[in-house]
Amino acid sequence: MTDNEPIIDTSGLVKQYGGIAALQGVDFSVDRGELHCIIGPNGAGKSTFFKLLMGIERPTAGAIHYKGRDVTSLGSFERARLGFSVKFQNIRVYPDLTVYHNLFIPLRRHHRMKKIPGQVAELLGELRLSGTENETVSNLSHGQIQWLAIGMSIAAEPEVLLLDEPTAGMSDDETRETAEIIRRLSATGMTILVIEHDMAFIRDLNTRTTVLHYGRLFAQGTFSEIEANEEVHQIYLGTL
Amino acid sequence: MGSNEQRSVLDKYLGRLNGPQTIGRGVPFWTCFLAVVVVLALCPEFLSRYEIINFSNFLISGFLALSLCLLWGYCGVLSLGQAAFFGVGGYTYGIVALNLLNAHGNTDVAFVAGIVVPTLLAGILGLIMFYARLAGVYIAILMLVVSLMFELFLLQTADPDYTIGAAYIGGFNGLRPASPDDPLLPSLIFGAGESVLEFDGRSVEFYYLTLGLLGAVYLGLRWLVNSSYGYLLVGVREDSHRTETFGYDIRLVQLSVFCIAAAIAGLAGVLYTAWGTFIHPNQFGLKANILPVIWVAVGGRKDLTAALIGALVLEWVGIRLAAVGEISLLIMGAILVVAMLVTPEGVVTTLARVVEQGRAFARARWGRGGTGPRSERQDS
Amino acid sequence: METVSIIFSFIYQYADNIGFLLLAAVGLIIIFGMMGVINMAHGELMMIGAYITAFAYHAGVPAPIAIIFAGIGSGLAGIVLERLVIRFFYRQLLSSLVVTWGISLVLTEGFLLIFGPSILNVPTPFGSFGVGELTFGIYRLVLFGVALLLIGLIWALFSYTRFGARARATMENPEMAEAFGINTSRMYALTFGLGSALGGIAGGMFALTATISPFFGVNYTLFAFITVVVGGGANVITGVTTSAAALAGAQTIVNNAWSVYVGYVSMMLAAFLILLILPRGISEYLERRKIRVAKKNG
């Protein structure tokens, strides 16, 4: 699927909060259709990076290009309309609504009313959540809520999917199933960026991986290259 | 016949009026609803004229409650100055009616203007506030400031210079005709060509008009909040950033609901001015602003029915208390604080939930009312 | 009229308006600016302070001591409110706005019921002085001075004392503070009480110039909020001082040119415009500039 044309390209991305620099000049690009993992110790700037990509926050300096177009100044709803979608680190579903209506809101932007029940059923099937339509979110297990949040993010059939810690709090079985779900999505040609802490999970995905450290791009390569990299070991041992 | 089939019959005929975003979806609820409507419609048969005039005023409060409930309860945008739109609607109606009554013989234009002008005002304020992405707390307080500024301004218009055509703004004297030759501030007079329909504020007809309009607004909002738009409102309330990442421009959602709420508040203001053929700057004051917040918070902000019941019951209680002495507002404030501590979701909402749980328990225990899976997707 | 007295009159009014905003805001600097708690009943806590001052004064207590009583009384009232009601609403901004508005209504109407609508007066001390043909009250300048003094004290308290450090730790990260052995709920109550006490002192100071009635508080609440909000949270102290200076500036200029009403409106408009341009308040902007300048200089 990869036609070697970067779909996202960032140059010199800087983000400061007050006096603290969360990102200090990140040049990063990802190809169309690529599945790409981003790892790094706590505070490396991973989540900040996603917030900038999604347009939740604006960079202090630098630019973001999407399909060659400068999208740095666009808000998150405008980027969503261009094909971006995100699952945040803190899960963020609608706690007062049922599973059905959690999916209804993102689906309704793209589908006619009549098609939505079918779409919901399809999504729930894909996410192993069939039969939970009428549950309120509080009745779901933690893993199920994660899947629901992923489902809400893919409801819009995005071109670029940003997943921030999709397996946090999941059991081993659930983690494996999540990897399976991500691989299936990737097979449809979706560009997917995944932030994770769980090394077993990253190993399972086994794809191009970027290491962020202190707000900078520290290393990049295939997972085996990253795994063999001594310096990467050191920064993890140094902080964990 | 189980509740399952009953419900699907209801869904068929009531559609979105009966959706999950509003309390009261079963046969018992709609039976009660009809009963209340019948009782309210029969009120003029067994209540004194004075009480009917009071009841008209209660019903007018209902509009304000629905307006604030939609804005705050469903979309999560709190305005502590909702009376600003009520007052602007009332003053606009009065000023236009005074000027056009002789020429037109009716108040059609005034009625429409009283709704349109507050909506436009909300449009301008909303455009500035929402597009600047002001925090919710600031919006709430800013709206109160706006309302109090109106009051302050109108209070110092007692000077005879402050006239608009045939209308003298009148400061603390209230709105009145500019000269003895000008007509008095009229009640609602709807006209089309030669035929004229007059609703004197002290008449039973006015009571029925208000009841009818309130019913229409209530059902209309029920329909609205159970539509896709209603879910979007709740989405914005629960997590506006998340909703934005689905591609929705939440500023537009907030602006639109702000305008709808202002239109309803404006309608209430029009009815109020027509009811008493009078409006005073204190309709922009602190008391006018805090009461709707109390009704909605005590009744239950997240449900239209709860907010409406809150308004009607508390207004009735307020009148009874006023007869005792100057303690009405004190008790209202105390009710608010206690209600928010004991039932954060509102008294009516909490009671409705208890009833619902009781019924579910009864169903599970004695198998009454059917045990099949609940019917799905009232919104499709 | 001589130019000197006109200029002095202008400066005097400006100082008076700044003093008013700062003194009104002094309690909210802590409660809203630092704790992030919305308290719509702040003006009513000031009203309690004003009543205490008036009653104590008329009972023969010297004014300065009466004002200290006011601080103690309002502070205790604040702690009671915090324990009974406000602590249940810390994480719900809009609900806390509504519930404290209800408290303000209860206090206003309660005082109205007990003390009636009658207006209490306490004579303004210190007399006046003249510049050219105009005379000016000295007490107004005292208000200005006390406002600056109190703000200085707050700054010192939170920067240099153990209490201040613990309070800041609590506001920053309650879980972490709890882990360090700080009793955070007591910290919240005490800090809230301190803010209320400052409000009471401010109310007592105002009691010597303003008329005291149950409706005393409303305006103070709104002006105080606006001043603190425009100041912003990045650095509350510099924020509030600059915002008071800016807002009072707008008010003073317009006051002189048109009327008091237009003066108020223009102040509100100024606040509104500043918030549109700097949604996080002035101090955020100042902090950012400081960083930029520091960077440029190495």
What is the ipTM, given to two decimal places? 0.87
Order of all β-strands in the sheet with A20-31: A20-31, A6-17, A61-66, A69-70
Which of B20, B234, B246 is facing A80, going by the closest CB pair?
B246
Higher confidence at residue C62 or residue B21?
C62
Q: What residues of A are in contact with residue C291 (Cβ under 8 Å)?
A: 16, 18-19
> Contact B340/C98, CB-based, under 8 Å?
yes
For the entire predicted model, the pTM comes to: 0.89
Give the C-alpha separation, B380 to B12, whole Å.
Answer: 11
Q: Does C218 touch chain A (CB under 8 A)?
A: no
Question: Which chain C residue shows the shortest CA-CA distance from A16?
Answer: C288
Q: What residues of A are in contact with residue B377 (Cβ under 8 Å)?
A: 100, 117
Say which residue the tokens 């301004």 belong to. Answer: B153
Which of C102, C226, C279 is facing B294, going by the closest CB pair?
C102
pLDDT digits (tens, 9 = 90+) for C80-131: 999 999 888 887 888 888 999 999 999 999 988 888 877 777 777 777 777 6
Q: Is the pLDDT of residue C262 over 80?
A: no
Higher confidence at residue B6 or residue C72?
C72
Q: Does A109 touch chain B (CB under 8 A)?
A: yes
Task: Report the sign of the C-alpha dihedral through residues A152, A153, A158, A159, in that order.
Answer: negative
Residue A110 identity (one-letter amino acid): H
Which of C97, C104, C222 is facing B137, going by the closest CB pair?
C97
Distance (Å) from the C-alpha of residue A75 to the closest C-alpha of chain B? Answer: 9
> Contact A85/B245, CB-based, under 8 Å?
yes
Q: Is the pLDDT of residue C294 over 70?
A: no
> Contact A19/C234, CB-based, under 8 Å?
no
pLDDT computed for residue B380 by the predictor: 32
40-69 of A, contacting B, C-beta below 8 A? 54, 56
In the predicted model, residues of chain A with pLDDT beneath 50 are 1-2, 239-240
47-106 of B, contacting C, C-beta below 8 A? 72, 76, 78, 80
> Contact A113/B380, CB-based, under 8 Å?
yes
Tokens of C281: 């308040």
pLDDT computed for residue A91 by the predictor: 73
Distance (Å) from the C-alpha of residue B62 to the closest C-alpha of chain A? Answer: 26
Tokens of B284: 């922009």
Q: Does C234 touch chain A (CB under 8 A)?
A: yes
> Contact A16/C287, CB-based, under 8 Å?
no
255-314 of B, contacting C, C-beta below 8 A? 286, 290, 293-294, 297
Give the C-alpha separation, B88 to B94, whole Å.
Answer: 10
Tokens of B42: 């029969």
Distance (Å) from the C-alpha of residue B255 to the closest C-alpha of chain A? Answer: 16
pLDDT digits (tens, 9 = 90+) for C137-190: 777 888 888 888 888 888 888 888 888 888 888 877 777 877 777 788 888 888
Chain C adjacent subunits, 3+ CB pairs under 8 A: A, B
> Contact C275/B141, CB-based, under 8 Å?
no
pLDDT computed for residue A240 by the predictor: 40
Question: Which chain C residue shows the shortest CA-CA distance from B145?
Answer: C222
From chain C, which residues contact B within 8 Å (Cβ)? 38, 85, 88-89, 93-95, 97-99, 101-106, 109-110, 112-113, 218, 222, 225-226, 229, 261, 264-265, 268, 272, 275-276, 279
The residue among B237, B239, B243, B245 with the most chain A CBs within 10 A of its CB, best to mutate, is B245
Question: Which chain C residue shows the shortest CA-CA distance from B326?
Answer: C113
Q: Give chain C's mean pLDDT.
A: 82
In the predicted model, residues of chain B with pLDDT beneath 50 are 1-3, 369-380
Instruction: State mean pLDDT over C226-238.
Output: 78
Task: Report the sign of the C-alpha dihedral through residues C100, C103, C109, C114, in that order.
Answer: negative
Q: Does A106 touch chain B (CB under 8 A)?
A: yes
Residue B312 exposed, middle or buried by CB count within 10 Å (0-12, 13-18, 19+): buried
Rg for chain C (alpha carbons), in Å?
Answer: 20
Distance (Å) from the C-alpha of residue A18 to the closest C-alpha of chain C? Answer: 7
Q: What residues of C are in contact with residue A16 (Cβ under 8 Å)?
A: 291
Q: Does C285 touch chain A (CB under 8 A)?
A: no
Distance (Å) from the C-alpha of residue C24 to the closest C-alpha of chain A? Answer: 29
Question: Which chain B residue shows the shortest CA-CA distance from C38?
Answer: B137
Chain A adjacent subunits, 3+ CB pairs under 8 A: B, C
Q: What residues of C are in contact with residue A17 (Cβ under 8 Å)?
A: none
pLDDT computed for residue B65 by the predictor: 96
Give the C-alpha separation, C227 to A61, whole Å.
Answer: 32
Q: What residues of B are in contact with residue C264 (Cβ under 8 Å)?
A: 149, 152
Q: Is the separation of the CB atoms in B163 and B157 below 8 Å?
A: no
Hey, what long-range contacts does B173-177 have (CB within 8 A, 24 or more apart)?
B174/B278, B174/B279, B174/B280, B174/B281, B175/B91, B175/B94, B175/B95, B175/B98, B175/B273, B175/B278, B175/B279, B175/B280, B177/B98
Higher confidence at residue C232 or residue B36?
B36
pLDDT computed for residue C22 by the predictor: 86
Give the C-alpha separation, B124 to B158, whole Å.
Answer: 28
Give the C-alpha separation, C208 to C63, whole Å.
Answer: 8
Give the C-alpha separation, A157 to B34, whole Å.
Answer: 45
Question: Which chain A residue shows the shortest CA-CA distance from B379?
Answer: A113
The residue among B142, B327, B338 with the most chain C CBs within 10 A of its CB, best to mutate, is B142
> Contact B247/A116, CB-based, under 8 Å?
no
Determine whether domain B3-363 maps to CATH 1.25.40.
no
The residue among B246, B250, B345 with the most chain A CBs within 10 A of its CB, best to mutate, is B246
Nearest to A8 by CA among A63, A74, A76: A63
Q: What residues of B are in contact with residue A94 (Cβ under 8 Å)?
A: 234-235, 238-239, 242
Q: Does A119 touch chain B (CB under 8 A)?
A: no
